[in-house]
Structure 1
Amino acid sequence: MADSPRVDESPALREYAAIGDGRTIALVARNGSIDWLPIPDLNSVPAFAAILDRASGGRIELAPVGDYTVTRRYLRGTNVLSTLFRTATGTVRVTDALITGNEGRLPWAELGRRIEGLDGEVRMRWTVRPGTMLGTASPWIQHIGAHSIVHAGPVTIGVTGSEHHPRRNRQRASSEDALRGAFTTTAGSRHLLAIVATENEPLHLPDAATVDAGIDRTISTWRTWSRTFGFDGRWAGDVQRSALLLKLLIYAPTGAVAAAATTSLPESSRGGKNWDYRFAWVRDAAYSVRALVRFGLREETHAAFSWLLDTIEANGPDLHVFYGLDGGVPRGVTAYDVPGWNGIGPVVGGNRAQGQLQLGVFGDLLGLAGEYVSAGNIFDPDTARMLTRVADRVCDLWRRPDSGMWELEETQHFTSSKMGCWQALDAAIHLAEKGQVSGNADRWRAERERIREWIDAHCWSAELGAYTMVAGRAALDTSVLLHAASGFERGPRMASTIDALVRELGRGPLLYRYSGMAEVEHPFVACSFWLAAALACVGRDAEAAALMDKLVKLSNDVGVFAEMIDEDEVTFWGNLPQGLSHLGLINAAITIEEQAAG
């Protein structure tokens, strides 16, 4: 009857839902265990990381004693999770929220777990077991009066609430490794478990009523946000859920958009391809702001775009591939001596793509700037000058080989990178025509045409009937699909490229990233959504809609997508929630609706 793995097993990645407060994100498994929670920030070394280290990573457990089954959902219009546990003796509902304050995020992390007895009696147990912070700290418990406090490196954690019946063994205080408790629910009963934490700061222990009210306030705050945007087309529920998950990835202190909530979740069972995505990629940030613009969201759009511009300017003159959530330029990679999810390592902090030349980011940035202006916004003189410099830089750089969108070690002349340069100059010309920048638009027009001629001469394969991955080679790459939406090509060549990609890289509704990936990883979720959008752009609306109908069903039970999905078993692989996957869904749905409307 048990609906969850044993404590010594790693839950499947499909088992996780995400909750957050604008500063960090927790992953909640179906069995009620919170197996990932960095404190205080998303990019902090996590005090709770059982998803990467089952034995010593740390977790917050709450579940019935004995066997049970689970159903769960997000409360409508929120990122607050409701889990229903059914046992042979009764039913209980757990509501999980990372609580926000009256004026935004709280100055500490506060997790509220409300437990309501619905019928019968259910014996519940809870454990708060901080981890070793990926092998860098040794947690210890301190008893202060009636309170028991856990320390893990610089993080201090306390447990409070009501009717949660903590257990304290004074005889074994020096050997304790966790805080524990138990209670029994009955029909109509209400218990509360609250976990609060700070980093290198005093700890505030709120009273139970304040935390309980905070859960309701957090629900109301999320619903207020959900009402500020609208999409009433097909797949509206899927779009709203993806928008809410995307909102979790927006780091409220700065407006930066994280690419994903986790690090080192493997892309395949072979291991090795484990990356840290808790940074703000220019590419992902641009796609995120584009989605926000299309929703008509003002505050997030302005915050994210302004942060991106300020960060680029502060760390210039070169455009970096990604930035830290605080606006700096991360350097280096740290390896941690822990086993990884299901023992598949490595576990790392940082990402080695930093320092690469990726020409496509210029198209992402200037394309976003064009959308921002089209939405009725105005550039200040400093922004206009910066974007002018970027456009001029593209004119000089586009002939160079780069690492491409997929951050490969060997630099080559990637087709989608050249298309991104075309997109950058096309957007710059648009901005000049709108009077938003004052650069040499004639130069940009000339270089834009040279780029198109070069692509036509070197990157089109008549034999394959497709744009290739690299100039002069026969491999294919799904990232060229992005340039149906960018406007580079929406005619017969893109339509033919779509067919070639599906033939070689397609597995049902899913696509591998590029040629040869079927041997080393699983299909990349975002690529399939790019395909749906590209189909709409070339006028194949019915195919686009049919593909979307299949894709939205591949999320987990609460609408979360990871980076990759196994083509046979439909299991999740890679980091999650993955921003690019959810952005692909949002932008594909909107594109299909726009194209159908003419």
Structure 2
Amino acid sequence: MPQRIEDYGIVGDLHTAALVGRDGSVDWLCLPNMDSPACFAALLGDESHGSWRLAPASGGPCTTRAYREGTLVLDTEWETPDGRVRVTDLMPPRESSPGMVRIVEGLSGRVPVVSDLRLRLDYGRSVPWVTRSRGAVGAVAGPHAVTLSTPVAVEVEEGPTGDVRSRFEVAAGDRVPFVLTHHDSWHPPPEPARAEDALASTLAFWRAWRAGTRYDGRWPDAVERSLVTLKALTFAPTGGIAAAATTSLPEELGGERNWDYRYCWLRDAAFTLLALLGTGHVTEARAWREWLLRAVAGSPADLQIMYGLDGRRRLPEGELGWLPGYEGSRPVRVGNGAADQLQLDVWGEVLLCLDLARSARLGPHGDTWRLEQGLMDFLEGHWDDLDNGLWEVRGPQRAFVHSRVMAWAGVDRAVRGVERFGLDGPVDAWRALRATIREDVLTHGYDARRGTFTQFYGSSGLDASLLLLPRVGFLPWDDPRVVGTVEAVQRELTQDGLLLRYRSDADDVDGLGGTEGTFLVCSFWLSGALEGIGRHDEAVALFERLLSLRNDLGLLSEEYDVAAGRQLGNFPQAFSHVGLVNTARVLSGGMLSDDWTLPSGEA
């Protein structure tokens, strides 16, 4: 049975990532890339679906664990009756073949240790053919091959499972390496990495990367760990950043709100770019912008809300019926059908992102501006279409207020491109369109009786995304309509002090049964909004409570179940960590009225 979501840590090589539990078990790893099929899928089932436990034979959770400062190298320690032992987990930033390195180190006494390796390819469905060759153990199934190298004796279980086991002891000062390497099955196995060299080079990589961070605000340790996590979710070949390392971790235990998040969402682009630029990581920001430009190339009418890590468009959704799901949460899904939804806010968010990149001088304007003009052509004819909204609801399409406001923000940034950067465009028509959208939202999206904007036109419900209206410059923070909306959202969507995205039973908005946890990024938005309306102490208190919900390694998932006191949803979640970084900057005085440069000044 898998552990609690917050019991996992992450290690990765900027192509893929592994989740390591407090018991020393790797329960999730996709090879060769983050969106490839998993070879360890116990996270969504049990050990029979693939796992690798390396820990004291006595078993049990670790005594302590921590990342080496500023890195993605994880040390896990156990205090046992026989002595102390440490397992160091890492994935060297990839130069050729992907691999995971695990080093067992004796710290005191003499401790019996076990390595139980159960490789199950294709998300736990395929038991590989296991062989021995050149002092290593190899496993092959279809196009995939995995090799395990270690100096200790290895036993391969006879029969259909082919499990690979080692039993050995470590005394103080002993260091025993294990190196797992993936390669295409039609090629000979590569030379395995030298574990100690891999450790040294991995530490050097992360420490050099850390040196590029520029942040002098409050909570620097929390911000740094969130930035390292965002870097860990980066797909280095393209610059894309996955929303999470996992699929189908549930938004409700035992429920069906289980989605695949191993892709790149356009909506995340502006927030992520803001976090990277605001903390000095210009190289990553530029790579993210370049990924964005490649992914959205083509007709602006064909813009998707998400793309593959390599920019591919087709992400067909399917179900893996052989996996029982995390704590029985079914179905387990791969791919994401929401990629085909109409979500009008993404046109605005792409325009926001490109305006921010232009302001930061991340690249030339020419081709980018032609793309922006195409996006504007689409918005002019479609800004008032009904859509599925920010939260990808699978119910009826609506006139979502957030979608209309983000369309406004996109038009506003196009106007800014002409006014501030001297670019060519029909600025008078765009100014008129901006005014039309604004008047439409103020007329149909605001409930004067209740003193708040609503989730969609004619709705009685609210939405946490309404907190973003002043952050894109639609209205100033001191406007009574903004203050009223912040207070209404806090009042009506709060659950034990944390924020829901929306009430799923309000107006039958999402067409799905069940419930979900409080949304962590929304709670970060609330903290920033409280700061915006002048409630600083309350904003800081909420932010620090959110920091307390991180696991012992500083990691956050998508949601938090306040009743059960557990993290929920895919893990670790980029949007939650982006929210942490950007809110820390807000509360440290780095950005307040408008995250994406100063408002245009429109009345």
- After TM superposition, the score normalised by the length of structure 1 is 0.93
The structure-2 alpha-carbon separation of the partners of 1:136 and 1:448, relative to structure 1 and needing over 3 Å to count, comes to same
CA distance in 2, matches of 1:597, 1:571: 31
The CA deviation at 1:256 is 1.0
What is the CA-CA distance between 1:316 and the residue it aligns to?
4.8
Cα offset, 1:438, TM superposition: 1.6
Structure 1 residue 259: Cα displacement: 1.0
Cα deviations by residue, 1:453-507 (Å, 9 ceiling, x for unpaired): 1111111112322110011221000011122221112222222111111111112
2:67: which partner in 1?
Answer: 74
Does the CA-based 8 Å contact 2:179-2:192 persist in structure 1?
Answer: no
Cα 1:349–1:576 change in 2 (3 A) is: same
* Matched residue type, 2:353: L
Q: Aligned partners of 1:45 and 1:161: how far apart in 2?
A: 25
DSSP-derived class of the 2:260 partner: coil
Aligned to 1:485: 471
Pick aligned residue for 2:502 from 514, 517, 520: 514
User: In structure 1, how many angstroms separate the alpha carbons of the residues matched to 2:174 and 2:124?
Assistant: 40
Shift of the 539–429 alpha-carbon distance from structure 1 to 2, 3 Å rule, reads farther
- CA distance in structure 1 between the partners assigned to 2:568 and 2:442 by the alignment: 36
- Cα root mean square deviation, aligned: 1.9
Question: What corresponds to 1:366 in structure 2?
Answer: 351
Which letter maps to 2:334?
Answer: G
State yes or no: 1:238 paired with 2:217.
no
Letter in 2 for 1:463: R
Residue deviations 1:289-330, cap 9 Å, x none? 221121222211111101111210146542111111111102
Quick one: which of 252, 256, 263 aligns to 1:268?
252
Q: Does 1:351 align with 2:344?
A: no
Cα distance in 1 between the residues matched to 2:286 and 2:186:
31
Contact kept, 8 Å, 1:385 with 1:437, in 2: the verdict is no
Please tell me whether the aligned partners of residues 157 and 197 of structure 1 are also in contact (alpha carbons under 8 angstroms).
yes
CA–CA distance in 2 between the matches of 1:482 and 1:586?
16
Q: Once the two structures are aligned, what percentage of the paired residues are identical? A: 36
Partner of 2:597: none
Partner of residue 142, structure 1 = 131
Structure 1 letter corresponding to 2:453: Y
Change (3 A) 1:135 1:334: farther
Task: Give the deviation of 1:119 after TM superposition.
Answer: 0.8
Map Cα deviations across residues 533-572 of structure 1 (whole Å, 9 max, x no partner). 2222233322222211111111111011111110122201
Give yes or no for contact 2:127–2:160 (8 Å, CA) kept in 1: no
AA at the equivalent of 1:177: G
Taking the TM superposition and a 5 Å limit, the aligned residue runs for 1:241-260 are: 241-260=225-244
Aligned equivalent of 2:276: 292
AA in 2 matched with 1:261: A
Query: Is residue 556–residue 577 contact of structure 2 (8 Å, CA) maintained in 1?
Result: yes
1:63 equivalenced with 2:85 (yes/no)? no
Aligned residue for 2:164?
179
In structure 2, relative to structure 1, the CA distance for the partners of 1:507 and 1:203 (3 Å cut) is farther
Is 1:394–2:386 an aligned residue pair? no
Structure 1 contact 138–153 (Cα < 8 Å) conserved: no
Give yes or no for the alignment of 1:412 onto 2:401: no
Alpha-carbon spacing, 1:135–1:64, altered in 2? closer, same or farther (3 Å): closer
Secondary structure at the counterpart of residue 177 of structure 1: coil
Structure-2 separation of matches of 1:117 and 1:537: 52
Paired with 2:49 and 2:482, the residues of 1 have a C-alpha distance of 47
Is the deviation greater in 379-388 or in 570-579? 379-388
CA contact (8 A) 2:318 2:333 kept: yes
User: What stretches of structure 2 of length at least 5 have no aligned partner?
Assistant: 507-513, 594-603
Match of 1:307 among 291, 311, 328: 291
Picking from 26, 29, 41, the partner of 2:18 is 26
Any residues of structure 2 matched to 1:153-164 within 5 Å, and which?
Answer: 153-162=142-151, 164=152
Change (3 A) 1:176 1:131: closer
Q: Partners in 2 of 1:201 and 1:430 — Cα distance?
A: 54
Displacement of 1:168 in angstroms is 4.6
Letter in 2 for 1:181: S
Q: Which amino acid aligns with 2:517?
A: H
- Pick aligned residue for 1:39 from 12, 22, 31: 31
- Counterpart position of 1:523: 518
Distance 1:597 1:358 in 2: 27
Q: Secondary structure at the match of 1:11?
A: coil
| Residues 1:380 and 1:374: Cα distance change in structure 2 (over 3 Å) | closer
Structure 1 Cα separation of the partners of residues 299 and 185 of structure 2: 28
- Residues 1:45 and 1:419: Cα distance change in structure 2 (over 3 Å): same
Indicate if the aligned counterparts of 2:156 and 2:162 stay in contact, CA closer than 8 A: no
- Letter matched to residue 183 of structure 2: T
Q: What is the SS of the residue equivalent to 1:412?
A: coil
Counterparts of 1:207 and 1:470, CA distance in 2: 56
Q: Counterpart amino acid of 2:434?
A: R
Say if 2:77 is the partner of 1:84. Answer: yes
Pick the aligned partner of 1:432 from 404, 413, 418.
418
Q: 1:415, 1:480 within 8 Å by CA — same for their partners in 2?
A: yes
SS at match of 2:198: helix
Matches within 5 A, 1:180-219: 180-206=165-191, 210-219=194-203
Q: Residue 11 of structure 1: CA displacement?
A: 0.7
The answer (yes or no) to whether the contact 1:157–1:203 under 8 Å persists in 2 is: no
The answer to whether structure 1 residue 497 and structure 2 residue 485 are counterparts is: yes
SS in 1 for 2:534: coil
Aligned-residue offset at 1:152: 3.3
Mean alpha-carbon deviation: is it higher for 541-550 or for 132-141?
132-141
| One-letter identity of the residue aligned with 2:84 | T
What are the Cα deviations for residues 384-403 of structure 1, in whole angstroms up to 9, with x where unaligned? 11111112321221111111
Unpaired stretches in structure 1, ≥5 consecutive residues: 1-8
What is the number of equivalent residue pairs in this alignment? 581
Return the alpha-carbon distance in structure 1 between the equivalents of residues 374 and 592 of structure 2.
37
Say which SS state the counterpart of residue 192 (structure 1) adopts.
strand
One-letter amino acid of the structure 2 residue matched with residue 87 of structure 1: T
Amino acid at match of 1:89: D
Q: Counterpart of 2:350 in 1: which secondary structure?
A: helix
Deviations along 1:59-80, one digit per CA (max 9) or x if unpaired, are: 1110101155421111100111
C-alpha contact (below 8 Å) 1:47/1:155 kept by paired residues: no
TM-score, normalising length: structure 2:
0.93
Name the CA shift for 1:156/1:436 in 2 (closer, same or farther; >3 Å). farther
Q: Secondary structure at the match of 2:149?
A: strand
- The answer to whether the 8 Å contact 1:509/1:551 transfers is no
Q: Which residue of 1 aligns with 2:210?
A: 226
Alpha-carbon contact 1:379-1:436 (below 8 Å) kept: no
- Shift, 1:212, TM fit: 1.6
Counterpart residue number, 2:598: none
What CA distance in whole angstroms lies between the structure 1 residues aligned with 2:298 and 2:268?
Answer: 19
Q: How far does the alpha carbon of each residue in 1:176-207 deviate from its partner, in whole angstroms, 9 at most, with x for none?
A: 52111121111111111111111345254545
Cα distance in 1 between the residues matched to 2:214 and 2:43 = 35
- Range that drifts further, 216-225 or 377-386: 377-386
Stretch moving more, 141-150 or 107-116: 141-150
- Once residues 591 and 315 of structure 2 are traced to their aligned partners in structure 1, the CA distance between those partners, rounded to angstroms, is 45
